[in-house]
Chain A
Amino acid sequence: MKSSVIIFPGSNCDRDMDVALRKFGFKNQMVWHNDSEIPKSDLIVLPGGFSYGDYLRCGSIAGKSRIIKSVIDFANSGGLVLGICNGFQILTETGLLPGILQQNKYLNFICKNVFVKIKNKENKYFKNIKKEVLELHIAHNEGNYFCSKDELKLIEDNSQIAVTYCDQKGNDDEANNPNGALKNIAGIFNKDKNILGMMPHPERMIDPFLSGEDGSIFFENLIGS
């Protein structure tokens, strides 16, 4: 499987994502934000970081960058597009995913392990994962997902919620909501489920000596799908 990781000025999880993708067998290449074309790929990843400093609104400038038109075209033709953290924020800014990511409820940056419950396995991202709950890692200041009532209804009707914050047993209630996200949403799909945006970083959980290994499960499934 061929993948492309887009580097925006201010991206800082690009290398981590590259390391993870290669570890699980992807032929990965790095693509500069100022390029206009993306080399032939099966998967495009928008990595975490602070694209363009996130000085306006997280992801908003990246959402208007030169490369982004190719990302949108690729996504609209059914290609797999994965946005992690800042990548998720960028995807909402482009309109490829509904809703927005606001500042965390308690106004602090949060860096810690969390559990997420897989809500939909009818897609390439989670298809053959046996577990119902994954332990992943979050590191963000703006991960508080929000959308309008109408949008939420559409999202729910189309089973677009991908993962929700929960405890080890899968209880995705308010007590297990680290950032105030609506319905504990940690990640969502587009209607066709080829685009996934999520706040947790699977690329930081690919080694027993790091925070954990559930990220490995995510990538192993993705390369096999």
Chain B
Amino acid sequence: MVEVNEKIAIEHGLKKEEFKKICDLLKRTPNITELGIFSAMWNEHCSYKSSRLHLKKLHTKGDQVIQGPGENAGVVDIEDNDAIVFKIESHNHPSFIEPYQGAATGVGGIMRDVFTMGARPIANLNSIHFGSPDHEKTRNLLRGVVKGIGGYGNCIGVPTIAGQTCFDESYNGNILVNAMTLGLVNKNKIFYSKAAGINKPVIYVGSKTGRDGIHGASMASAIFDDKIEEKKPTVQVGDPFTEKLLLEACLELMAGKSIISIQDMGAAGLTSSSIEMASKGNLGIEIDLTKVPCREEKMTPYEIMLSESQERMLIVLEKGKEGEAKKIFDKWNLDFAVIGKTTDSKKIELFFKNEKVAEIPIDFLAESAPMYDRKWIKAKLPKENKFTKDQFKSLKLSDCLKKVLVDPNIVDKEWIWDQYDHTVMGDTIQKPGGNAGVVRVHGTNKAVAAAVDSSATYCHAHPLTGGKQVVCESWRNMISVGAKPIAITNCLNFGNPEKERNMGEFVECVEGITEASKYLDYPVVSGNVSFYNETKDKGIKPTPSIGGIGLLSDYKKMMTMELKNEGNYLFVVGKTEGHLDQSIFARNILFEFNGPPPEINLFNEKQNGMSILNLKKENLIETCHDVSLGGILTAVSKMSIKGNKGVKLFSIDGLVNKFEYFFGEDQGRYIIEIKPDNLEKVEKMLKKDSIHFDKLGIIESNQITYGNDLKISIDDIKEGYKNWLKKYMVN
């Protein structure tokens, strides 16, 4: 057996002081298995040691919240005894090393989190970020990640209904892969990870344990250097077929009454799942590692405890129900083994070949885990740019529009979502490419909307504003399909928390998220944190991804974004101030990369959003799209392309020039389509609520026109927008 010392502890990613604390707690030096367990539980990924202090501030309560953060996933009430279980999670580090398997197992892991709670997954989403399109690795990483996400989700038969893809050079050495799943459950049949009762059998089900993924969680807690290729063996390998069987078998077992608690083996595998169950139940747990089904020969206790082999679950059963449960897993051809029992020792005790190989009080691993109040610095709001008339003088609207529409962050992403099965399960009523994905709640009139958003550019420029903005954008996506926003899940992707600037970005983004979600009553119910997204000292831009969900009580009232009928009018709801700093226009046309992000006014945000829902309730809106990246003209173009109809834009008046008006990225705005008959009613309702709106234009012909300044056909703008990504990928 390996002699444990400080050097070995440091190789396990522990700090010198942390190793000393372990020895002090145990009053002895841990053996290698115990050290492995400590390192797995105390790393950033599992212990949230840098983030815990700040995550406590998140707004997590609300009337519809059944379960907030702290469980496998969050749960919200959607009436009639139905509940939605949902969560987003990162799989960044493995995906950069091995894009297919990294992304695939990310999808597998998040689906397990959801069905562990008794819910059948009904939709998948993802948010993926890549380096600059010019970077040599980007194309292959994108291809691998998309294939991995598709390969897993398509095989399981859960539709991928929405997502987001961004490109920015800050991800050149650290891509982001965030996967989100929604599941449907009867609110009286939710399963939790808290164990209860002593002497209850602990059951292992699913795939066999192999040597893959050992120390995966530690890798996810470290920065990359030149030797990342050597870390390939720490990436897990996914088997979606087994997961499909595991899903069906678990749901079959859950229909009965034999499960006390259940936990999937995710990061840090058997270690974290067993400790979490015991810790939450304030119990001890005893496991005989000889009984764990293994795929490879001569696996040591250390390897068995730290393996991150996929598609495995740990269950605490009612005593005497083992036979009944085994029958179900036999039917689905899955391994089933009684590997231990719950105890009242409040310790984790491991046996191997009749010998005790580890004994650690659970408290040492969970509650005594380090928590750091890391130093951070507050970001200053950058100075606004003053653009001069000269900068706009030689610009033409049509040229600018064409350029903006082929920005990789704007272009159509069909090449990606065509590869995801988005229609299986027969309830997808809004496909990817719209404001949000929408699936019906099977067999009812209800539907659930979901979207993922991030805006690293804004967060980078000013983290507090950026944090608020992402939540608002998510809220707007829900409103735009006619759904009442319910709750969010957040995936917080940041750089190195040991650097004050990165830590500050984290703290202030969380603050922004909290402020907005509180004001909008849009609570955070689940999520995860991914730090150390840094390679060779270069960190990513702060990237909180927000996954939002909303409820439509009547799916037939869902809104879409494509223009419907000629002769209908378009309004912009919300005020346009012409904010160009940090916009796509500023970057691509003015080559200006500094300045503050657009300001968030939560009062207006809420008012504007609610007014849209009120108008929809009265059936006064035909189409709705929120205005985001690229401003009004980009939004109108996308609506035109999707509906294959042109728009005559009315002349603008006010203090801003046409470029500021059409490309500014002011927040809290929507474009709506209104029938001529309803114009008066809409104006009246908006005025009554003191909502600012502009009459934007009228739908006609097959071109977008603005007086003599712009005349461009749909086909002309469609070409670049629709084909950019396809062309990029075949090159």
Contacts and interface: CB of A to CB of B under 8 A. Distances in A.
Interface of A: 9-10, 12-13, 15-16, 19-20, 48-50, 52-55, 108-112, 137, 139, 141, 201, 203-204, 206-207, 209-211
B665 interface: no
A204 B418 contact: no
Contacts of A204: 423-424, 426
A108 B418 contact: yes
Given A109-B147, A204-B424, A210-B427, 9 more contacts: A9-B244, A10-B245, A12-B244, A12-B424, A13-B424, A53-B239, A108-B147, A204-B426, A206-B426
A210 B428 contact: yes
Interface in B123-160: 147, 150-151, 154-157
B351 interface: no
7 contacts: A15-B425, A54-B241, A109-B147, A111-B422, A141-B154, A203-B426, A204-B426
A110 B420 CA distance: 7
Given A9-B333, A55-B241, A209-B555, A16 B425 contact: yes
Contact of B423 (A52, A53, A111): A111
B158 to A, nearest CB: 8
A216 to B, nearest CB: 13
Contacts of A15: 425-426
The 8 closest A-B pairs by CB, nearest first: A12-B157, A53-B241, A16-B426, A139-B421, A50-B155, A209-B429, A109-B419, A111-B421
B332 interface: yes
A206 B427 CA distance: 11
B421 A49 contact: no
Contacts of A50: 154-155, 157, 240-241, 244
Nearest to B440: A209
A210 B426 contact: yes
A10 B155 contact: yes
Contacts of A203: 426
Nearest to B729: A108
A139 B426 contact: no
B641 to A, nearest CB: 17
A109 B423 contact: no
Contacts of B556: 209
Given A9-B245, A10-B241, A109 B150 contact: yes
Interface of B: 147, 150-151, 154-157, 239-242, 244-245, 332-333, 417-429, 431, 440, 555-556
Contacts of B429: 209-210
B595 to A, nearest CB: 40
Contacts of A55: 241
A211 B154 contact: no
B424 A16 contact: yes
A88 B555 CA distance: 33
B333 A139 contact: no
Nearest to A108: B419
Nearest to B157: A12
Contacts of B239: 53
A12 B156 contact: yes
Contacts of B422: 111
A13 B154 CA distance: 11
A49 B150 CA distance: 13
B418 A110 contact: yes
A108 B146 CA distance: 10
B245 to A, nearest CB: 6
A19 B443 CA distance: 10
Contacts of B555: 209
A204 B426 CA distance: 6
A111 B241 contact: no
B418 A10 contact: no
A139 B245 contact: no
Contacts of A209: 429, 440, 555-556
A16 B332 CA distance: 21
Nearest to B425: A16
B241 A109 contact: no
Contacts of A201: 423
Contacts of B440: 209
A9 B426 contact: no
A201 B428 CA distance: 14
Nearest to B244: A10
A170 B422 CA distance: 26
Contacts of A210: 423, 426-429
Contacts of B419: 108-111
